[in-house]
Structure 1
Amino acid sequence: MTNKSIGIKDVAVAAGVSVTTVSHVLNDVAYARISPETREKVKATAERLGYGPNRLAQALRTQRTGMLGLVSEEIATTPHAGRIILGADEAARARGYNLMIINTSGAASDESRQADVEALLERRVDGILYATMYHREVTLPENLSSIPAVLVDSESLAGSVASVVPDEEGGARVAVQSLLDAGHRRIGFLNNTDDVPATRDRLRGFRNALDEAGLDGAAAPVESELSEVLGGYVAALRMLKRKDRPTGLFCYNDRMAMGAYRAAAEVGISIPNELSVVGFDDQELIAANLYPGLTTVALPHYEMGAWATERLIDAIEGKADLTVLAAKPTILQCPLVTRESITNPHPGLS
């Protein structure tokens, strides 16, 4: 039989259950009291018979299209942050939804952002994900309030929209703790100059981790530059020329760590024998390919995309209240990715 000749009644008969049970299982109705075994049986039967829900009929009945919009501030053109899209897409497909993406510039005007959201609304998406390429505070287009929405890797200045962000402070603590665990006590920080949540929170995590280890976090050396390779190089040169230069270096991101590698080589300091380095972001093209491989903290891009999509669909289907989630950002952990850039401090330097 073809897919068109198979109906929900056929699935019910073949599975030995009621039509209502099939409907509840295939529409993932959370309140339905159906055993896991029966759910699996219904799904397997539907797959075996080639049954799929009639999307047009479903849309007419539920007033939903099964489409989600994603406004991407340069996410689609940023390799490591692109995992936000992968997480969102896979979570959407698992729930029977598809993703429609509009890529915009981080420097786009308010009018342009408004137009991007309007383009998605005209295509009758059921909800919108708004994702930025780095953790920052955003002013949202006014028309975004007309539809369920979740922010990814960003926070609303008005605090009116549910959002998911990385644990910047916790990630910094993990990074510094990796140096402390290796025996380092003179630890410096190469920080970013941009006034964004990541800059403030990673500095706080750096200082708090040192304080908790019995060291003076406020007195620990910090050098700030643009968070690029050149910025890391310039900041590291200043740090490494100090008379009491650190034996361990925490870098705001992997690009700055790459610049620190260059600076260390230029002044004849060996990594990790004379200087241990830890980064942040786990940009695989950088971290895994530096020599030695860079120990770093991973941003949960995939997890943020998936979490936001799950919550958005829950809201669309009446299973979650986004206004409750908007009270404060949801924070996801940033795990340490261990490579070869950290070792015990050189006896002559400790």
Structure 2
Amino acid sequence: MYMVPFSMGSSRTSRESESTVRLISGRPGRTSRIQKLPSEIHHAAWKPAARHSDWSSSAPTGAGSSTARRQAPANKNIYFFSSQDLNFRILILSLESEQGGMRMGGNKNGTKLTDLAKACGLSLRVVNAVMTGYSGSVRYSPGTKDKVLETAKRLGYRPNRFARNLQNGCCGTIAVLAENFFDINEITMDSIIRASSQRSKMILYERVGADNPNPRCLLERISDGFIAIGQISEQVMEKIDRTGSPCIFVNTNRRKGANCMNFDERGAMKLAVDRFVSLGRERIAFIGNGRTDHYFEKARHMGLEAEIKKRGLAKLKIFENPSLHPDNEFRKQLSSFLIGNPEIDSVLLSMDFMAPVFYDAAEKTGRSIPSDIAAISVNNSEFSIASRPSLTSLGINRAEVGWTAVEKLMSLMEGKEVSCPTLKYSLFPRNSA
């Protein structure tokens, strides 16, 4: 029997810092609460029991943490993160340093930045760089950083992000937009948080889609720039354009432009077909997630067809999920598809999350993975690692996505010209193919 084990607990080890996850809603009248999570942000709807030691998730050297975090306004409410009912919930994620754990707010004892610099015996520039987390051209040693943070804690100094942003004429935030939270890999989100923290920026998250056609972060100036990820509708992208704020589009339907970071979907399909052919498989099927309106779905389908034709293999069999969700209807129709095409010996799953339903459908039709059907998926997510047998998958370096997106966005915000790269997929061989 094929199993995809899940648990609500985290399998991550503790890191240097921990992230505070806050969901702030425009609706008053509910009890406020804050939930501390490990620094690797997880999807709240499910957790895999397996560890992620085979992930390529190393962050670039120098990943630091910010020491500032502002409390929510009194007329707002803070909620524990849930993957449901996210229409207007803005997710504020900030890294809180282990050393000091300082929160932003007023300094009741009147301590100023100049007082802190004097107590440390350092220049105002150095102390400001340490406290804001953005050094620019200022260089200082880890020992100097420790000294400043320890002195700030002793004096009770807390940097006032709100005042600093007013002075600089900015919001101090970057908005991350996605149709649903599952479009954002947790390693990508973690790297976005860390990269933003190094530049003294906080992260807002708002879900955009048919049930939230007018995202509040686009109606009000509450962010300095945007990172739009995945299945963003054309209407939302037009509204982003009308804000006049810089934006980096990450693997969206918008493919052309210096601010578009694309994934090499055609190259990924070549890797998949190469793998199938090396295993002696020649009758390939494509199982899509039903989002034929999105570029990556069409690109994977067309890329697979082109590679198959180039090699003279049997015509590609195609099945699109009619319900858009891995539900019982999908399972039933997928079983019928496999029964009606007994010659299929290999399958490309457009998304990892379809693996449990596909494995179940294969078992119900008497097909074994990988002896009867070799399977490869796209995304290299927790589903591929936790599935039994583990799923061979195609994946992007997710940490690179987050770090690069923030770096390019900050350059745009500083008025510089940028050119976003096209990121390549890698194949992560496991037991299914």
The two structures share one fold, judged by TM-score above 0.5 = yes
- Residue of structure 1 equivalent to 2:284: 187
- Residue of structure 2 equivalent to 1:238: 337
Establish whether residue 203 from structure 1 lines up as the match of residue 301 from structure 2. Answer: yes
1:1-350 to 2 correspondences below 5 Å: 5=111, 7=113, 11=117, 14=120, 19-20=124-125, 28=134, 30=136, 32=137, 38=140, 40=142, 42-50=144-152, 53-75=159-181, 78=182, 81=185, 84-109=188-213, 112-113=214-215, 115-119=216-220, 121=221, 123=222, 125-132=223-230, 134=231, 139-141=237-239, 144-156=242-254, 162-193=259-290, 194-210=292-308, 215-216=311-312, 219-226=314-321, 228-229=325-326, 230-231=329-330, 234-235=333-334, 237-239=336-338, 241-242=340-341, 245-284=343-382, 286-298=383-395, 303-316=400-413, 318=414, 320-321=416-417, 324-325=418-419, 330-342=421-433
Report the 3-state secondary structure (helix = DSSP H, G, I; strand = E; otherwise coil) of the residue aligned with 2:238.
coil
Distance 2:430 2:209 in 1: 34
Structure 2, unpaired ranges of 5+: 1-106
After superposition, the Cα gap between the structure-2 partners of 1:260 and 1:197, relative to the gap in structure 1 and judged at 3 Å, is same
Shift of 1:266: 2.3
Shift of 1:141: 0.6
Shift of 1:57: 4.9
Q: Do the aligned partners of 1:294 and 1:339 also contact (CA within 8 Å) in 2?
A: yes
Identity across aligned pairs (percent)? 19
Structure 1, unpaired ranges of 5+: 343-350
Distance 1:236 1:170 in 2: 29
Q: TM-score if structure 1 supplies the norm length?
A: 0.71
Distance 2:242 2:143 in 1: 40
Shift of 1:64: 2.4
Distance 1:170 1:8 in 2: 55
**Structure 2 residue identity aligned to 1:167:** D
Q: TM-score if structure 2 supplies the norm length?
A: 0.60
Question: Residue deviations 1:263-291, cap 9 Å, x none?
Answer: 3222212111222111123342x434433
Shift of 1:296: 1.9
Q: Do the aligned partners of 1:188 and 1:239 also contact (CA within 8 Å) in 2?
A: no
- Residue of structure 2 equivalent to 1:347: none
Q: Do the aligned partners of 1:153 and 1:304 also contact (CA within 8 Å) in 2?
A: no
After superposition, the Cα gap between the structure-2 partners of 1:9 and 1:88, relative to the gap in structure 1 and judged at 3 Å, is same
Question: Residue deviations 1:227-248, cap 9 Å, x none?
Answer: 54444763564355446x1322
Q: Do the aligned partners of 2:134 and 2:200 also contact (CA within 8 Å) in 1?
A: no
Question: Residue deviations 1:89-126, cap 9 Å, x none?
Answer: 332223221122333334544xx24x54113x1x4x22
If each structure's helix is expressed as a fraction of its own residues, which one has the higher value?
Answer: 1
**RMSD value over aligned CA atoms?**
3.8
After superposition, the Cα gap between the structure-2 partners of 1:259 and 1:52, relative to the gap in structure 1 and judged at 3 Å, is same
Q: Do the aligned partners of 1:83 and 1:302 also contact (CA within 8 Å) in 2?
A: yes
After superposition, the Cα gap between the structure-2 partners of 1:74 and 1:258, relative to the gap in structure 1 and judged at 3 Å, is same
After superposition, the Cα gap between the structure-2 partners of 1:48 and 1:225, relative to the gap in structure 1 and judged at 3 Å, is same
Distance 1:91 1:65 in 2: 17
**Structure 2 residue identity aligned to 1:331:** T
Q: Which moved further from structure 2: 46-55 or 198-207? A: 46-55
